[in-house]
Amino acid sequence: MTLRDGQTSGIFFDNTFKSTFDMRVDQTDYYSFKAEGGQLDYYICAGPSPKHVMEQYTSLTGRMPLPPKWGLGYHQSRYSYETEEEVRELIKTFSEKDIPVDAIHLDIHYMNGYRVFTFDGSRFPNPEKLISDMKEKGIRIVPIVDPGVKVDAEYPIYQEGVTNDLFCKYIEGNIFFGDVWPGKSAFPDFTKEQARKWWGKKHEFYTDKGIEGIWNDMNEPAVFNETKTMDVEVMHDNDGDPKTHRELHNVYGYLMGEATYEGMKDLLNGKRPFLLTRAGYAGVQKYAAVWTGDNRSFWEHLEMAIPMCLNLGLSGVAYSGPDVGGFAHDSNGELLARWTQFGAFTPFFRNHSAIEFVYQEPWQFGEKYEEVIKKYIQLRYKWLPHLYKLFKDASETGVPVMRPLFMEYPNDEETYQLFDQFLIGSNVMIAPVLRPGVNDRMVYLPEGVWYDYWTGDKLEGGKRIIAHAELDHLPIYVKSGTILPEANVKPSTAHEVDHMTIHIYPDEASTSYDLYDDDGETFNYEQDDYFSLNITVNHEDGNVSVDTTVNNQQYQPKWKDITYVVHGISSDVQLVYNGQKVDFEERNGTLSFNKSW
């Protein structure tokens, strides 16, 4: 994407061979891109704005489906939670500490000898009961599924792959074997429709147990050899048009995602699958969320996660996030607290840590840090109505949830190089603290009036400010003209919200917001089974009018009552709701009143 003098264009280089983009800073006249083979196919996205480029690019490569609500909650993972008892104790602790959680991820130790589509009978003697008991509490299990199939003549998955010619092979016809977690393994040829359908259907093993989400890892594909991947001489069927792995390496993870997602969708009887992947190609957003891989518990990796997620969003992947707290090396309380503050606003929100390093669940570093971490996990659940609306928008336009500042301010050159703060939607600024022992940071506020989310103080934009941020404080700023919904906090998204608060930050112009809701787990919204409430606010002569219109109520949410909170307005104004003057309560510099939709 190129941004110059406020005008934006994009280039999509659609080539599956190993590609190189040469963006050297010492090269002032031109940048270049190339590939090792194939055709020089590329598309120009003409813009002229960053949002136009995103809409044009995703019209080519596809847009993400609306995820299930539980996929947007807080996820807890470790490599590995190794037994059913450990998982049950984990859930018990979340409940006792009143910390919301929606999903527990199971890494490779849940399997029998790392064989995919199995559970270890000694570690997990009754997975159906575990999954059922967890779902009663509103929590899902997400097991990892890797592409490597253990070579074992008595293993049905391996038998079927060999018998039906579904594995990757050399041109001479012998199967490619590589060492991964199970040891010597074969790899499904996902370029072959028969293999994709077979692999997708095999997920019945999980869906029959009540599982609705899958985690694809090692799908570059990763192999424990010198090259770290499959031999480039391996041939792929490519649906009757054979190609080498040298050409198709970059789409292997993408096609595994397609096989998994479509298989799960067919098996879940109308429910939305959740899929997480480590690898993909342009268009992977149609099938999976993407996490940023095996990071480290370093402050530098916390800082790096911001541009990584922003660039994924600019590449069509609106649903992304890093391993909160860092995957490898030992985290600590301050790092986990600051990372959780940031993670509460990444589209995908998962804490994940590696074997042989310290556990990093929210309570592991003492009450001081647990209190902060809990506060921001709960904040994620308060903000879910707004995040869900942004995901709905992303599914329709391709414009990401988490945005670089230049996306909204392409004419402001001060925003072009900013990488340590970001926007949620068009009008909420998040500025995480990214260094240990730091309680103050510089924040750039673009033009306009901004409200401190926590204090309600008004700040003039178009300049940098110093934000004071003790350990429990994440700097958040809301631009005037914003309407922001918040839910009451529940233990998980399976517990329906029963009250909504609408925060209004008026400016001198009319502003509106479409509050969106649906059942959060099926595709019924595609048949107009959703709820939409338009809220329009006018601020004239010091007075504020709020007008609401129910656009669609084929789906009716549990919540009926709404508290409207108006910020930055003096108490001597007149508040009008749907043409009628309303009485209000003044509290902490805000005016509030209650209504039902």
Q: Tell me the average confidence (pLDDT) per consecutive run of 10 residues in the chain, 597 residues long.
A: 94 97 84 95 97 98 98 98 98 98 98 98 98 98 98 98 98 98 98 98 98 98 98 98 98 98 98 98 98 98 98 98 98 98 98 98 98 98 98 98 98 96 98 98 98 97 98 98 98 97 94 98 98 96 93 96 95 93 92 95
Output the domain CATH number for residue 299.
3.20.20.80
DSSP, collapsed to helix, strand or coil, labels residue 287 as coil
d(CA 245, CA 202): 24
Q: Is 356 assigned a catalytic role?
A: no
Whether the CB-CB separation of 152 and 183 falls below 8 Å is answered with: no
Output the domain CATH number for residue 535.
2.60.40.1180
User: In terms of domains, do 255 and 378 share one?
Assistant: yes
Q: Which of 107, 146, 189, 220 is catalytic?
A: 220
**CB-side neighbour CA atoms (13 Å) of 28:** 0
User: In terms of domains, do 153 and 300 share one?
Assistant: yes
Give the model's pLDDT for residue 193.
98
Q: Is 220 assigned a catalytic role?
A: yes
Number of domains into which the chain is organized: 2
Give the model's pLDDT for residue 542.
78
- Of the three residues 360, 389, 418, the one that is the final residue of a domain is 389
d(CA 414, CA 104): 41
Phi first, then psi: give them for residue 477, nearest 5 degrees: -130, 135
Domain of residue 527, residue span: 496-596
Give the model's pLDDT for residue 28.
76
Give the model's pLDDT for residue 56.
98
d(CA 414, CA 425): 19
By residue count, the chain amounts to: 597
User: In terms of domains, do 383 and 522 share one?
Assistant: no
Distances (CA, A) of 22 to 224, 271, 300, 307, 351: 29, 43, 24, 19, 34
DSSP, collapsed to helix, strand or coil, labels residue 479 as strand
Residue 49 lies in a domain: no
d(CA 559, CA 498): 4
DSSP structural state of residue 527: G
DSSP per-residue string spanning 159-187 = HHHHHTT-B-B-TTSPBPEEEETTEEEE-
Instruction: Single out the residue of 299, 109, 131, 98 nearest to residue 211, CA to CA.
Output: 131
Residue 171 lies in a domain: yes
- Of the three residues 389, 411, 441, the one that is the final residue of a domain is 389
Residue with tokens 């198709």: 248
Residue with tokens 């518990």: 297
DSSP structural state of residue 95: H
Q: Which of 133, 294, 303, 547 is catalytic?
A: 294
User: In terms of domains, do 202 and 326 share one?
Assistant: yes
Q: Is 370 assigned a catalytic role?
A: no
Contact residues for 92 (Cβ-Cβ < 8 A; gap 6+): none
Contact residues for 472 (Cβ-Cβ < 8 A; gap 6+): 337, 371, 372, 375
Give the model's pLDDT for residue 100.
98
Pairing state of beta strands 42-45 and 32-35?
unpaired
Q: Which of 107, 217, 486, 521 is catalytic?
A: 217
Residue 406 lies in a domain: no
User: In terms of domains, do 186 and 306 share one?
Assistant: yes
